[in-house]
A and B are shown apart, each in its own frame.
Chain A
Amino acid sequence: MQFTLNSNTIARRAMGAAGGALLVAALVSCGGDKQKENDGPDFSRQSAFPSTYKAEEAAPVLIRGATVLTGTGEQLTNADILLRDGKIAAIGERLKAPKKGIVVEGAGKWVTPGIIDVHSHLGDYPAPSIESSQDGNEMTSPNTAQVWAEHSVWTQDPQFALALAGGVTTLQILPGSANLFGGRGVTLKNVPGRSVQDMKFPGAPYGLKMACGENPKRVYGDKGTLPSTRMGNVAGYRQAWIDAAAYRHKWDEYKKNGGEAPDRDLQLETLAGVLNGEILVHNHCYRGEEMAIMMDVAKEFGFQITAFHHAVEAYKVADLLAENNVCAAVWADWWGFKHEAFDMTEANLAIIDQAKACGMIHSDSEIGIQHLNEETAKAMVAGQRAGFAIEPRHAVAWMTLNPAKALGIDEVTGSLEKGKMADLVVWSGNPFSVYSKAEKVFIDGNLMYDRSNPERQPYSDFELGIMDAEGERLSESRVKGQGGAQ
C-alpha cells in the first residue's frame, strides 16, 4: 500500500454529566500526533446537546461471497462479512451463517464501508429551498464561532434519505462560508431522527468551520466592515486567536488558583476548544497561497488545522499539507464558479494522495452527496491518466476512511475491520461504475436502506401527503407500473 493512514488516537474519557457518564472523544485532527491531555475547563461542551442516537438491536447479518473493498487498501474477492451486535464481527472466507439473522448473497456484488461526507449542509439548507429554510449561514458578523450548525438542522429534510440511497452513512453538517469563523459543525449518522440529537454520531468531536478567501471578504466588504480583503481576513483570524488564547488562559488560571469564575463566552469557548485540541478545524480554503498562510496562522497560535475543504489548489501545496499533517477535501472536477476555483485540475486528489497527504472527496451538494462513488471514480481515473497506479482498493478510502480521519471517528468507522461499527454498503456491482447502485446500506448493523424493499426506505414527515394526499412523495402506489422511486 502506497500510503499509510496514521491512526487517530482517540482519547476517550469518562465525563460526569447530568444524565450520567457520557463517553466523549477528546482528540486532535487528522493524523492526531498532537494529543493533549485536557484537565482544563470544558470548552467543547460535548454534553450540552448529547447524542441520543442508539442503534436498534440488530439481528446478525452475513454477507456472503462478495467483492470487498475494505478501505484499508485491500480488495478481497469472494469474501464473507459477519455483522453482529452492530459491529463487524468477522471478515473471511466461508464464515458460518448465524442461526437467526439475515444472509445477503453477495455474488456479483461489491461491499464498501459506508460513505462519509465531510462537507454537507443537509438539514441546514434543506429541500425545498425557500427563504425561510436558509439556516446555514449566520451572515451577521465575521466571527460567529458561537453558533452551532446542529441548532439549525431540520431533521425532516428529505435529502437525508436521498443521500442514504447513495450509500452515505455518516456526514458532517457545517455552517456556511460567509464568515471567517462560521461556527461549529456536527457529525451525524444518516438515520431518521425526531431531534438532531437522535442523529448525532456518539462521541464525534465538534468541528469549527473557518473560511478563507472570497466569501468573507465579499460579504463583509460589501457591508463596509473588516474584512474586505484577504489580508483583512487574516487579521481577523489572528485577532480572534489572541482573544481565545487570553480566554483560555483565564480559565486555566481559575482552574489552577480558584477565585471567582470567569464569565462564559460562547464564541471564545469554541475557539478555546480548538486551542485545547478538542474541536477540529475544517477550513474552507481554495488557494495554495492561502492554505500555506493558514498553516502558519495555526503554528503561530498552536492549533492544528484538520482539513482544508474545497481545496481546488491543494495539488500546488500537497507537500506542505503532508508535512503539516493537514487533510484536503476536494471535488473531482468543479471549477470556474469563482476566481479562486479557476485553477482546477482533475488530478488534484491523486496528486494530494501521491504526496502522502490525506485527501478525500466531499460534496457540499445535495446532489453530489448522492454520487460520491462516481466522484471518487473520476478522481481515481484522473490519477491513473496522470501516471499514478491508483486502484479501487486504494481510492475507496477517499470516500470512507480518510473523511473518517478528518472527522476524528476513524477508530470506529470508515473501514471494514473487525470491531468497527457495521456501517457499510452492498453495491449492485463495482461502486466506481455509473451503473452500480447502493442496494443495501447498513448502519451499526441495521439495514437502514434496501432498494428492493420500500419498507426499508425512510420517508421524512415532509414526504407524507405531499403531491398525493393519501400517499408519500414518489411512493410506489403513486407510480405503480413506472418503476421504483428514487
Chain B
Amino acid sequence: MNRTNIRSRGIARMALALLSGLALSAQAQTVLIKDAKIVTLTDQGTLESADLLVRNGRIEQIADRLGDLSADLIIDGRGKVVTPGLIAPSSELGLTEISAAASTNDGAVQDTSIGAGFDPSVAYNPRSTLIPFNRAGGLTQAVVVPGSEEKIFAGQGFAIRLTGDFDSIIGTGLVQKVYFGEYGAQLAGGSRARAYEQIESALEDAVEYAGNREAIRKGEWRDLDFSIADLEALQPLIRGEQPLLISANRASDILQVLALGKKYNLKLIVQGAAEGWMVADQLAAARVPVVIDALGNSPDAFEKLGARLDNAALMQKAGVIVAISGPGYAGSHNSYLSRQGAGNAVAYGLPYEEGVKAISANVATIFGLEGGVLAPGSRADLVLWSGDPLEVTSFAELVLIDGKPQSLVNRSTRLRDRYLHPQAGTGHGYKLK
C-alpha cells in the first residue's frame, strides 16, 4: 500500500470515527498518527514532523518516520499537533452539575463532624455532562477536590480519567485540601492566625494520634479536637506521603505556608499563589509547586494586589514547578480552558513547552499521576489538535485515553446541531440525528 492510500484510508477512518463516535473507538487497538508535530515534553523534545504509534493502550514508538505500518486507525497529522492529554489540577468534575442547584452538588458539606476525613469520591458521577464537554476540549485526566464552606479542612481529592466509565476513578486520597489566606481566615473565625493555629493543632493531634492510636480509639485518652476519621485521614499527610493542597495568594501567606511545611515536613502544593512571583525563590528552594489561575491578574482582593499575567513566567524562571488551572470565572464546567490560561502565560513570557507542561506534565508530576508526557511505553492519553493547542482558535480533533479514541460529542455539539437553522414551531423537537 503506498503512502497516499494510507493517508486517504486514514482520513476516511478518521471521519468515520468522528461520525460514529464510540462505535469504532472501542475497537481501535492500534492508532498511527503520521507527520504531526509532536510535543513530547520529554528529552525527545518537540518533533516538527513525526509519527506516533499506539498499541494496547500504550505509546509504542515515536519517530521521525515509522514507515508504512498497518494500524486500525491511521491519521494524517500534517499541520496538526500532538500533545499529552490535558490534566486539570483542581476541579469538581463529577461532583457538580449546575453550580447554583444544591441538589446537584456533592463537593462540599455542611457538617462540622468531618473535615480531613471527607472523601467525596463516593459521590463521583462519571456520567456528568461536564465530562464529555471537557474531554472534547482535550482534557483526559483531572484532579477532583472538594470545597468547603464551613471549615478550613475541605477533605480529600481524587483523580479521574475522563472516559465517562463507571470505573474511571484512578486514585483516591490523593491530596488534603486546606484553606489559608483570606478565605481560610474567614472560615477559621476571622483571622489568618486562627487558621494557622487550626492547621497546627490538627497536625499536632494527628501526631499524637499516631503515637497513641490504640488508647485514643478505646477512649482512654484526652479528648482531641478532631474525630478519629479525621485523624486517620491526616496520617499520610504527616508521614509526608500525601500532599497538602493549600490555598494562599499573598506573598506573606505563602511564606507562612512554607514555614509550616518545613516545621512538619509536609509535602506542599500552594494553590492560588497570585503573589507567588514575589517569593518565587523561596518556593523554588523549598521545592514547593504551585497551581495558579494564569488569567487572574485583577487585584480583586487585598491578598492579590500583586496579581499579574507574567506570574507563571516569573515563577518558572525561578525554578518553581507551575501548574495552570482553568480560569477562575469558568469554574469546573470549562476546566479545559487551562490551555487559554497557558496561552496567555506564554504570551507573557513563559517558554512555550513550559506552557504545555503546566497543563499536563507538571500536573501529573505534582499529583503523582501517570501521564502528561509522550514517551514509548507511557500510557496513551493524548490529543491531536487542529493547530497550536495553546491558541484559542485550535481545537481537539482526536482524544485518546488509554489508547482509545474518545467521542467528542457532547451537549454543546448536540444542541448546536439541532439548532443550526432555528425554525418556528414544533418541528425542531423531532429532528433527531
| Residue ranges of A at the interface with B (Cβ–Cβ < 8 Å) | 127-130, 158-159, 162, 214, 315-320, 333-339, 342-347, 351, 354-355, 365-368, 370-371, 374, 377-378, 380-382, 385-387, 432-437, 466-467, 473-474, 482-486
Bitwise, B115-129 to A at CB < 8 A (1) or not (0) is 000000000000001
- Which residues in B have their C-beta under 8 angstroms from that of A485? 308
Bitwise, B411-430 to A at CB < 8 A (1) or not (0) is 11101100111111000000
Beta-carbon contact of A127 and B299 below 8 Å: yes
- Which residues in B have their C-beta under 8 angstroms from that of A128? 299-302, 304-305
- Which residues in B have their C-beta under 8 angstroms from that of A127? 298-301
Given contacts A319-B423, A482-B277, contact A374 B340 (CB under 8 A): yes
- Which residues in A have their C-beta under 8 angstroms from that of B364? none
A483 and B100 CA atoms in complex are apart in Å by 40
- Interchain residue pairs with CB less than 8 A apart (8): A333-B330, A334-B334, A337-B331, A344-B415, A371-B295, A432-B392, A434-B346, A434-B390
Stretch at the interface among B188-196, B262-270, B309-317: B309-317
Beta-carbon contact of A158 and B299 below 8 Å: yes
Q: Shortest beta-carbon distance, A429 to chain B, in Å?
A: 10
Q: Shortest beta-carbon distance, B181 to chain A, in Å?
A: 13
Given contacts A315-B422, A344-B412, A482-B314, contact A433 B393 (CB under 8 A): yes
Q: Which of B96, B298, B391 contacts A367 (CB 8 A)?
A: B298
Given contacts A333-B337, A337-B99, A346-B416, contact A434 B343 (CB under 8 A): yes
Beta-carbon contact of B422 and A377 below 8 Å: no
- Which residues in A have their C-beta under 8 angstroms from that of B413? 345
Given contacts A368-B329, A434-B392, A486-B309, contact A130 B98 (CB under 8 A): no
- Which residues in B have their C-beta under 8 angstroms from that of A355? 422
Given contacts A128-B305, A367-B295, contact A483 B310 (CB under 8 A): yes
Q: Which of A347, A367, A436 contacts B328 (CB 8 A)?
A: A367
Q: Shortest beta-carbon distance, B311 to chain A, in Å?
A: 10
Q: Which of A381, A434, A473 contacts B344 (CB 8 A)?
A: A434
Q: Which of A129, A162, A378, A467 contacts B392 (CB 8 A)?
A: A378
Q: Which of B393, B395, B420 contacts A387 (CB 8 A)?
A: B420
Beta-carbon contact of A345 and B412 below 8 Å: yes
Beta-carbon contact of A474 and B422 below 8 Å: no
Query: Which 7 A-B pairs have CB atoms at the shortest separation, nearest pair first?
Result: A434-B343, A336-B333, A338-B100, A347-B416, A127-B300, A345-B416, A345-B415
- Which residues in B have their C-beta under 8 angstroms from that of A473? 299, 305-306
Given contacts A434-B347, A435-B347, contact A336 B415 (CB under 8 A): no
Place the interface of chain B in its size category. 35 or more
A116 and B97 CA atoms in complex are apart in Å by 32
- Which residues in B have their C-beta under 8 angstroms from that of A387? 420
Beta-carbon contact of B299 and A434 below 8 Å: no
- Which residues in A have their C-beta under 8 angstroms from that of B299? 127-128, 158, 473
- Which residues in A have their C-beta under 8 angstroms from that of B420? 347, 351, 386-387
Extra contacts besides A316-B422, A338-B98, A343-B415 (20): CB < 8 Å:
A333-B334, A336-B96, A336-B130, A339-B98, A343-B411, A346-B416, A351-B420, A354-B421, A355-B422, A365-B329, A368-B329, A371-B344, A374-B340, A435-B343, A436-B347, A437-B347, A473-B306, A474-B306, A483-B349, A486-B297
Within 8 A of A (CB), among B382-433: 390-395, 411-413, 415-416, 419-424
For the complex, is B319 an interface residue (Cβ under 8 Å from A)? Answer: no
- Which residues in A have their C-beta under 8 angstroms from that of B412? 335, 344-347
For the complex, is B101 an interface residue (Cβ under 8 Å from A)? Answer: yes
A343 and B129 CA atoms in complex are apart in Å by 11
Instruction: Name the residue on A nearest B302 (C-beta).
Output: A128
- Which residues in B have their C-beta under 8 angstroms from that of A342? 98
Q: Shortest beta-carbon distance, B192 to chain A, in Å?
A: 16
A96 and B145 CA atoms in complex are apart in Å by 61
A382 and B337 CA atoms in complex are apart in Å by 14
A337, A342, A354, A385: residue with the most chain B Cβ atoms closer than 10 Å = A337
Main secondary structure of the interface of B (DSSP, over half): loop
A361 and B423 CA atoms in complex are apart in Å by 23
- Which residues in B have their C-beta under 8 angstroms from that of A344? 411-412, 415
Beta-carbon contact of A338 and B99 below 8 Å: yes
A334 and B99 CA atoms in complex are apart in Å by 12
A320, A380, A382, A483: residue with the most chain B Cβ atoms closer than 10 Å = A483
Beta-carbon contact of A483 and B314 below 8 Å: yes
Instruction: Name the residue on B nearest A215 (C-beta).
Output: B100
Beta-carbon contact of A380 and B393 below 8 Å: yes
Q: Which of B305, B395, B419 contacts A385 (CB 8 A)?
A: B395
Q: Which of A367, A386, A437, A482 contacts B327 (CB 8 A)?
A: A367
Q: Which of A129, A374, A380, A386 contacts B416 (CB 8 A)?
A: A386
Q: Shortest beta-carbon distance, A206 to chain B, in Å?
A: 27
Q: Which of B297, B306, B349 contacts A467 (CB 8 A)?
A: B306
Beta-carbon contact of A335 and B333 below 8 Å: yes
A342 and B147 CA atoms in complex are apart in Å by 22
Given contacts A346-B412, A381-B395, contact A337 B98 (CB under 8 A): yes
A133 and B300 CA atoms in complex are apart in Å by 11
Instruction: Name the residue on B nearest A365 (C-beta).
Output: B329
A176 and B50 CA atoms in complex are apart in Å by 53
For the complex, is B236 an interface residue (Cβ under 8 Å from A)? Answer: no
A382 and B129 CA atoms in complex are apart in Å by 19
A264 and B110 CA atoms in complex are apart in Å by 50
- Which residues in B have their C-beta under 8 angstroms from that of A386? 416, 420
Q: Which of A338, A343, A346, A434 contacts B101 (CB 8 A)?
A: A338
B300, B328, B423, B424: residue with the most chain A Cβ atoms closer than 10 Å = B300
A127 and B305 CA atoms in complex are apart in Å by 9
- Which residues in B have their C-beta under 8 angstroms from that of A337? 98-100, 331, 333
For the complex, is B348 an interface residue (Cβ under 8 Å from A)? Answer: yes
For the complex, is B296 an interface residue (Cβ under 8 Å from A)? Answer: yes
Instruction: Name the residue on A nearest B314 (C-beta).
Output: A482
A473 and B297 CA atoms in complex are apart in Å by 12
Beta-carbon contact of B419 and A159 below 8 Å: no
Instruction: Name the residue on B nearest A342 (C-beta).
Output: B98
Q: Which of B308, B337, B346, B421 contacts A474 (CB 8 A)?
A: B308
- Which residues in B have their C-beta under 8 angstroms from that of A374? 340, 392
- Which residues in A have their C-beta under 8 angstroms from that of B337? 333
Q: Shortest beta-carbon distance, A419 to chain B, in Å?
A: 33
Instruction: Name the residue on B nearest A482 (C-beta).
Output: B314
- Which residues in A have their C-beta under 8 angstroms from that of B333? 334-337
- Which residues in B have their C-beta under 8 angstroms from that of A319? 422-424
Q: Shortest beta-carbon distance, A28 to chain B, in Å?
A: 25
A437 and B391 CA atoms in complex are apart in Å by 13
- Which residues in A have their C-beta under 8 angstroms from that of B394? 381
Q: Shortest beta-carbon distance, B254 to chain A, in Å?
A: 15
Beta-carbon contact of A351 and B419 below 8 Å: yes
Q: Shortest beta-carbon distance, A356 to chain B, in Å?
A: 12
A476 and B411 CA atoms in complex are apart in Å by 47
B100, B302, B334: residue with the most chain A Cβ atoms closer than 10 Å = B100
Instruction: Name the residue on B nearest A341 (C-beta).
Output: B98
Instruction: Name the residue on B nearest A484 (C-beta).
Output: B310
Q: Shortest beta-carbon distance, A303 to chain B, in Å?
A: 23
- Which residues in A have their C-beta under 8 angstroms from that of B344? 371, 434
